[in-house]
Structure 1
Amino acid sequence: MDVRSGHPAEAVPGWDTVNTRLLADVERRSTTLLAALAAAIVAAGLHAAGASVPVVADAAPGFRSGPLLIVLALLPAAVSGALLLSGRHNAAAGVLVGAAALAPGRAVLDLQLAADPGAALRPELYLPGDLLRHPPGAGLWLLVAGHGALAVAGLLAVRAARERADVADAGERATDGHDVATWRQRWLFVVMVAAVVAASGLLMAPFASGDVYLLARNAFEGPAVALTGYLLVAAALPLAAALFMTSGNGPFARGGLGGLAIGVACVAVPSVAAAASIDATSVSSGPVVALVAVAVLLAVAFVRASARAERDDSPDRSGEVAVPGQRRLLTATGVLAVLTALAAAAGSLTAQLSSPGPAPAPESPARWLLLAAGVLVGALGLGLFVPRVAIVLRPALTVAWVGVLLAGTAVLDTAITATGVPGGSLSSGPGVLWTWLAMCGAAATACCSVIAGMVEREDADGLDPADGTGAGMNLLTPVTAAAVLAVAALGTPVVTAADYIAAGLWSDFGTPSWGLLAAALTVLGATVLAPRSRPRQAAALLAGAAGVLAVHASALPLTGSHLPDACAGIGLWLSLAAIAALLVAAAIALAGRRGTGE
């Protein structure tokens, strides 16, 4: 029997040659997946060894965490191996890719133990008992090497999944049938929300603590290295979830969701165990929220296509990229944008700091900047509910979301600086929670907007010819000028004052610098994509970038009143010049659209 056509061997000319080549392809592609599994096994061994030896010299964990950490280390390889033995190759590859997506962020989290172990908040690996800075131990480097091996396993698994696309597990596809498309349409929004919720939970304080050497803080109140790791994990979650759900391979997508769930559990479960095992600590809501999202991801991963697929004679469409309709995606993006705006408003209007005494706690001078960014995102989100303008506004929102990160990091800098003073009495207020919820919501809005753009691009053939072509190289000069001016504007201060040093990109790097960096990369991305986009979409992208720079420039009128003798810095004039260049480029794009004969 021919393994592809299903016809008898004698009825197929050249059967021996065709099937010999096919079997050779299957063997080669299975070898790649086996190599990925081998790398995952090496990663598991390194993680298990790292959990068994000290990660900090002359120190020990706060509780007997070794068995738990070893079990968590073995999960990706064990689950992937079990799926591979059962013949579910795509699902096995997806598990490795999902777990590997969080490996870079987890590696940076572990490196905090080398930078300052006392501020790492990792009692499952090290419980500080003094204020001395202990050197890292061998266990730390084993853990970091394990993350590197897991990343290699993920890359090999991606290659294996691509190679097996044409000979993928027939049993899985026959079981799923064309209802895989319905599965994606039904669960995409749930998966995206779960990924954002998981990211939010991981950014919250891992536990509550009464130990003076173990000060429990959320990610934005912690040290820079740990913050970078948490942000990498938080950003990878919705991005990877979106890629899995639009991959065009149902088993691979389900396996990927399972791998993401395992990765989140590896971060959240030790925090819960530490809170339950150490006397001075107690469970906080952060890891619990993350584990609830893990349960949702696993539930979706286990949901199969309906039984109707087994008896339906329709052609198999499991290989297609099937996502919800454009209207539904635009509505979902609008909902997320409005929720982000509400969270930004709450973050700007509620206290960032609380004081136990009668004296009022200081307020962040950047809180009105956050409100302005939230208003911009919320206005664009509301516009997505109007069908006539939704497609025009959606690309602008794809860029404008970063304004919330730009303003949010500046707002959080006040709380991080005030609560980091030794012996200080100030603590974080509710505004901190709302601010980083707004930042997470902005990232989720961006992911949903990008997916809506993918669907819009696929439907471009149904649009008018003027929208089906790129904006062209006429934009090259203005967008290049805008890109240079934008980076310069975001790297230089908008406000200058005596005894005030603003954070920047290449000097005085601080918490607000992360928002500046995100804004610079997003605006640069918009200027790169605009010449290759359809004219109307190019104009919207550039207008969104101009909105981000307008938020940045508004720092002078909105925050300058809190600084004595505040005056305009060079960043203000560069921002205005960049805005002008972006608007000129947008006008050229629209003029080119009219020139096509619309």
Structure 2
Amino acid sequence: MLALPAMTSRITTPSPADSPADDSVGSRIGWAESPVQLRLAFALAALGAVAQVTGVAVGVVDGGPPAAFRSFPLLLVLAVLPPVVAAGLAVGRRPLMGAGVLVGAALLGPGRLLGDLQFLVDPLVVSRPEIMVPTSLAPLHAGLGLWLLLAGHVLAITAGVMAANRAGAPYGTPYAAELHDDGRQRSAVGLVAAVVAAFGLQLAPFTSGNAFLLAEGLIDSPWLLRFALLAAGAGVVGAALVGTATARGVAVGAVLGVAAIAVPQVGAGLWVGLLGAAPGPYLALLGVVGLAVSVWVTTRPRRESDPVATAHRVAGVLGVLSGVAAIGAATTTVLAVEGVEQETFSNRLFLPAGILVVALAIPLLFPRTAAAMRPAFAVSLAAIALAGMSTLDAVVTATGVGAPISTGAAVWFTAAALVFAGGATITGLFAGNAERAEPQERPLDLVLVAPLAVAGLLAIGAFGLPVVKARGLVPPGIWAEFRLASLGLLLAVLTVVVAVALTPVSRPNRAGALLLGCAGLVGVRALEYPLTSARALGSVPGPGLWLSLACAGALVVAALMVLSRR
């Protein structure tokens, strides 16, 4: 009893600056100072990854049919990522975050374990084309590889349990002190994103026209797979409820755990014949990425409230979600006729648009780069509208002909991308207006007027004239053939023209970012030719392509001129 006060008196309460949510979490703790139990957990996680990979290589089903595609490299990467990332963080003096990665991955472990147990009960009802695709109704039996695979899951779960809480570290040690929870509330956005991810895991993994390969969600699955799906969903939601001390690592581990389930499903829907993409795995990935982004943004040390910094972070999160949804829209089905997926070209611009927006949204999550990158990010959001209006135009046109046409998951991703982009635009404008309210000297730079005027005129032609020309092809325009897709073109050209007009009265670093963002937007327009030229026979580059390339070049040159005159 007398030793208790002495022991508890050694516990230090970190100040807000040393909060575990800070970017310096674990910076004082090296590999040697990590608890022995944690190092053992890293070893078990690595052994579990080896067992999983070996099990797939040996064969989960005895003498069973092969996988539907070359999935082994993908499964290898997905298996080794959690222990590799966790050990790398520990070696990089972030052992607490590394422990969180093991915990987050382990939260998905029970669901994965139950799902693979179905191979032992009845392999014929398992929808795992990355492992095997039955070719008949002949009975199949579990092989040696299944036991290795199950052992790998058990080892991964055990590693997560050992890494949880203090990982055996005595009270008063630096590692235990880092676990101090400052009591901040969890992110409501992160919890909603986790629920979205959990819901996505319950849906069908893909659509199937193969009678021997079922595509069933929670309701239609066998009882064991139902428990597996529910356990996986509960694991994602549990990752959103952990304490702030390990929240970042757990979020990363949850992303890797969901990826191990959903990425093979995405690959099967894209690469396997008679299979098609379904929204379930995309929703799961989108939701868990949103959870991770929300956790990394919100688990920061408490400082004096800064509305501009908060707006930057919110805009960054919304931008990442918009970009990820855009990539989902680019890789899923837009239209189907009597259940048969149709090749479409209207959504292909979403791929470069989504990549551009995500690349410019991530810097907004960090205070050092947020203000400088905000102008480029703000104008890049017009690329989402450019691709979104084109996709919706194709849907409205196709569904209006009266044929048995149904819409696919890409339409939902399009709507999500547009909504997130709209929210990011509003918060980005708020941050910009608050920053411009600060007294700054902004002299008019008349030298830039001529090159900027040229860039503006080229932008009008780039978006107003067709990029692809072919006999019988009537693309949407601004002055003629004004359709729903024309709204995206109009918004894009107005974005560039307004940005060009604001450049001479803006600070050089902000003006340079603004012009570079416009160059990225025009570059997305130029990519319309290589991405969609196959939609018509005998297609050739239109004047809009050459004007887009010239406009992008002019904007880059003008941006370099602006930045050189700082």
TM-score range for the pair, normalised by the shorter chain length: 0.3 to 0.5
Q: Name the structure where helix makes up a greater proportion of residues.
A: 1
Q: TM-score, normalised by structure 1?
A: 0.43
Q: TM-score, normalised by structure 2?
A: 0.45
